[in-house]
Chains A and B, each alone.
Chain A
Amino acid sequence: MASAALQDRASAALAARAPTDWSAPAMQSRIAGRYRSEFVFKYLGLGALVLAGAFLVFLLFTIVRDGASGFLATDVKVTVTYDPATLGIDAAAAKGPNAKAAILAGNFQALLGTADAQLANGMPVVSEGAWLALREAVLADPSLLGKTAKVWVPARSDFDLLAKGKFDLAQPEGVRGVSDATIVTYRSLDSRGLVRTGFNRIFLTSADSTTPELAGVWGAAKGSLLTLAVTLVLSFPIGVFAAIYLEEFAPKNRWTDLVEVSINNLAAVPSIIFGLLGLALFLNFFNMPRSAPIVGGLTLALMTFPVIVIAGRVAIKSVPPSIRDAALGVGASPIQVVFQHVLPLALPGILTGTIIGMARALGETAPLLLIGMRAFVTDPPAGLSNPATALPVQVFLWSDDVARGFVEKTSAAIIVLLIFLMLMNSVAIYLRNRFERRW
């Protein structure tokens, strides 16, 4: 009763009120205010998007800026006399049947040291590890012994960075990280045409080293490839089979619910937990070798296969039931239906999901750190159970290194990693666009 009375009164008040005067200044300013806040809100949204994009661009820009020079290296030209006396190689032995052993035992460090000392009045210019290149040269051609030759060998990191202009020469000597003497030496060498900067073959073909000018990513890349091979071989069949079972055959019961819940949770478990699992299970319980690609691959496979299962289920679900009905209708058994009809149609989707999962595994660092794949390896790993490291772990290790030359190596390694990721993702996108069917 009371509410009816209230309503009457309210409508009476409304009727008594004058209609809104939209052209009144108060109303006009109110509308202007609303449009203003609309404008602000819209551009806040755009701003957020632009800001996120700007972060991405800035991130990539800093990495390319710092890392591009990592693909270049500075060499110096030294005049080397392959003096058998300095080398400590008996000229006769170097021709005999044990020539290889004799040359391997030669003191090439002393040989290069002498040549280096003549170059710049005793200031070391040549990289400490460059003697290995001389040894390779003699191994390939023993007749070099006793001759004099001019060879290009890698320069020390200081000179390398100077040649690439990585030091701010306007700064005082103590701050800029390179001594005046080094600069003077570099300039004199440069004016004599003894320095050249070119493509850094060492970076792409060798493994880790303590000196930045001799460090390369190939060892880590090969470790990553071996690890990913194990991951793929294990997680792809397991993931696809599990997806087939869950999507096509699983009865609705408590067990399959449990499987589904575990798969969904595994996909969200932090990666470092998988590292702990790998450490406790594979290393401590099964006594598998530390730092080995096989353990890394197993650990990453456990992490990747839930991703493949989830992608696989979506792909299998998108195959229309009419295909199954038609195959069943002409007498195929349920397993034949799945393997001969559904799976081929779902395969592009499954492969896309697999590649995305593998790309994630390639970028993963934390679990590999825990199972010891941070080994310092100067040779690319030969097999699945040799100590190895992986590309992202190499990035982490170099980023920790105090030597200044490693900053550009770290960024360059990141560029290599990102190129791999980009390739994998473009293959995934290509597969999706080329083969995905909409029914």
Chain B
Amino acid sequence: MSLTFVTLLLLALGLGVFTVARRRGEAFVGTAALAGAGNRSIGAVHSRPNYHGAFVALAALAPALLIVAAWAVVSDGVVSNAVIASVPAAEQPKTPLDRSSFMSEVKGIASGDQEAGFNPATGPAAKVYTSTHDSYNLIAGGIAAAALALGALWALSRLRPDFRARNRVEKAVMWLLIGASLVAILTTAGIVLSLIFESLRFFEKVSVVEFLTSTHWSPQTALRADQVGSSGAFGAIPLFWGTIFIGAIIAMIVAIPLGLMAAVYLTQYADSRVRKVAKPLLEILAGVPTVVYGFFAALTVAPAVRDFAVSLGMVNASAESALAAGSVMGIMIIPFVSSMADDALNAVPGAMRDGSFAMGATKSETVRKVLLPAALPGIVGGVLLAVSRAIGETMIVVMAAGLAARLTVNPFESVTTVTAQIVALLTGDQEFDSAKTLSAFALGLVLFIITLLLNIYALTVVKKYREAYE
């Protein structure tokens, strides 16, 4: 008996309780009228029958579903413990890793996906698993059903014509709404706490100062104690440089002029028909998944960049280059910059533009000498938001920038970024306690803090600027 089935059963019971209570509510309308309450016949019943039903269903289902949810969280551990306890002591798995592989074999056999386990003890254990799993679920389901019955009886006993069922239900709905909006805070807190917690574990092994100031990054930790040259060095400066080089320099050199000029053309020159077609087309550039850009950068742009580097006389130009990743990222950012610049230009009061035209300035002179200086704070804010997006971008750099941590200003060389390293560190085989794996969380923390600061700063700049013209 699976938990899904238990839940569905409980929901069906809840529906039954709802209809019963609804009937009661309908009956109230009749009795109140029959009781000869005269002209108070409708007013005597406070809530509509549906609210009576919903009140009882809520009172019945809420505790029952809470019990099932709590059981779902702990059940795996409880059942595993029972199963492992059933295995003879000599064959019991000891370490947590053994335990989890043992349990996954047991589950595989129990579900029939697997013929036999690697460990012979898993065969009998699978039978124990099936029986305990079923009986425990049955017990949990029984308790939940009892809670449902109690809740339903209590709620039904409270139903009377003047019972304020609607207010109760609405209060519950209100708590639901508040709960939903708290998810945002919980998610933020989850991000901050998990990043900080794992980073602290990393900084127990590697000092913060080394991480933030050293220029040597080679996270491979030794597999054997006597291995040479793989002690693991965690100086993140080359990664920070690579991130800035690709995301904040090369990508912006591509995106700012193109995005800005496109916005100027669209807002000042293009007639409305062109704008109607061109704007959605630009938006498509922003809607293409980043993995597609990554593939394009790696397969089409990177070889072209390398050939160009070779033609410039660089002998061993690498296939992966900062230029390939950065320029494609710049293309991806164009619509973002252009829509921010669009907003900023539109926020400049028309009087300034008209004044400039009245003095005899041409359109381009107006744009360059009046509109752009006036819109500059908004544009700068938009560019900062674009930078924050570019440095958090992952797939393009993973696929086209490479993993060589290098401090270089040569755009034809391969550099690596924070995001590319996080992916490299956390995919493939990983032991969870190694400094190598944990360093990804420290990098994530730095990335989170920097993008957060950039966003907050950029948004205040944009907001202040908007207020200045309102």
Chain A interface (Cβ < 8 Å from any Cβ of B): 34-35, 37-38, 40-42, 44-49, 51-53, 55-56, 59, 62-63, 66, 237-242, 244-246, 249-250, 256, 258-259, 262-266, 268-277, 279-281, 284-287, 302, 305-306, 309, 333, 335, 339, 359, 362-366, 369-370, 372, 374, 392-393, 395-396, 399, 407, 410-411, 414, 417-418, 421, 425
Which of B59-67, B130-138, B440-448 binds A? B440-448
On whether the beta carbons of B422 and A245 are closer than 8 Å, the reply is no
**B29 interface hit (Cβ, 8 Å):** no
On whether the beta carbons of B364 and A241 are closer than 8 Å, the reply is no
**B115 interface hit (Cβ, 8 Å):** no
On whether the beta carbons of B181 and A55 are closer than 8 Å, the reply is no
On whether the beta carbons of A270 and B364 are closer than 8 Å, the reply is no
Complex: how many Å from CA A276 to CA B385? Answer: 22
Lowest 3 CB-CB distances: which A-B pairs, in order? A270-B392, A45-B265, A363-B289
Decide: A421 near B180, CB < 8 A? Known: A62-B300, A265-B452, A270-B447: no
Q: List 18 A-B contacts (CB under 8 A).
A: A34-B365, A38-B364, A241-B180, A245-B181, A246-B181, A259-B184, A264-B459, A270-B389, A271-B394, A276-B191, A277-B195, A281-B194, A287-B77, A335-B170, A362-B289, A392-B289, A399-B298, A425-B287
Complex: how many Å from CA A145 to CA B335? Answer: 63
Q: Among B181, B338, B422, B432, point to the contact of A241 (Cβ < 8 A).
A: B181
**B73 interface hit (Cβ, 8 Å):** yes
Complex: how many Å from CA A392 to CA B182? Answer: 31
Chain B residues within 8 Å of chain A by Cβ, number: 91
Complex: how many Å from CA A264 to CA B452? Answer: 11
User: DSSP class of B's interface residues: helix, strand, loop or mixed?
Assistant: helix
* B285 contacts across to A, CB distance below 8 A: 52, 55-56
Complex: how many Å from CA A265 to CA B284? Answer: 24
Complex: how many Å from CA A68 to CA B452? Answer: 42
On whether the beta carbons of A59 and B292 are closer than 8 Å, the reply is yes
* A276 contacts across to B, CB distance below 8 A: 191, 194-195, 422, 426, 440-441, 444
**B278 interface hit (Cβ, 8 Å):** yes
On whether the beta carbons of A49 and B291 are closer than 8 Å, the reply is no
On whether the beta carbons of B184 and A42 are closer than 8 Å, the reply is no
* B122 contacts across to A, CB distance below 8 A: none
On whether the beta carbons of A414 and B282 are closer than 8 Å, the reply is no
On whether the beta carbons of B262 and A52 are closer than 8 Å, the reply is yes
The A/B interface has a contact count, at CB < 8 Å, of: 247
Return A432 CB to nearest CB of chain B, in Å: 12
Contacts A63-B296, A339-B173, A421-B287 known; list 19 others, CB within 8 Å. Answer: A34-B362, A48-B257, A52-B285, A55-B334, A59-B296, A62-B296, A245-B180, A250-B181, A258-B185, A266-B188, A273-B447, A286-B73, A333-B166, A365-B289, A366-B394, A370-B427, A395-B291, A396-B291, A396-B395
On whether the beta carbons of A266 and B181 are closer than 8 Å, the reply is no
Chain A minimum-CB-distance residue to B260: A48
Chain B interface (Cβ < 8 Å from any Cβ of A): 73, 76-77, 166, 170, 173-174, 176-185, 187-188, 190-191, 194-195, 197-198, 257-262, 264-266, 268-270, 278, 281-282, 284-285, 287-296, 298-300, 331, 334-335, 338, 362-365, 367-368, 385, 388-389, 391-395, 398-399, 419, 422-423, 426-427, 432, 440-441, 444, 447-448, 451-452, 455-456, 459
On whether the beta carbons of A45 and B264 are closer than 8 Å, the reply is yes
User: DSSP class of A's interface residues: helix, strand, loop or mixed?
Assistant: helix
* A262 contacts across to B, CB distance below 8 A: 184-185, 187-188
Q: Among A48, A259, A421, point to the contact of B262 (Cβ < 8 A).
A: A48
* A244 contacts across to B, CB distance below 8 A: 177
Return B328 CB to nearest CB of chain A, in Å: 9
* A396 contacts across to B, CB distance below 8 A: 291, 294, 395, 398-399
Decide: A374 near B451, CB < 8 A? Known: A52-B331, A53-B281, A396-B291: no
Complex: how many Å from CA A52 to CA B265? Answer: 13
Chain B minimum-CB-distance residue to A302: B187
Complex: how many Å from CA A305 to CA B243? Answer: 28
Q: Among B185, B290, B392, B447, point to the contact of A259 (Cβ < 8 A).
A: B185
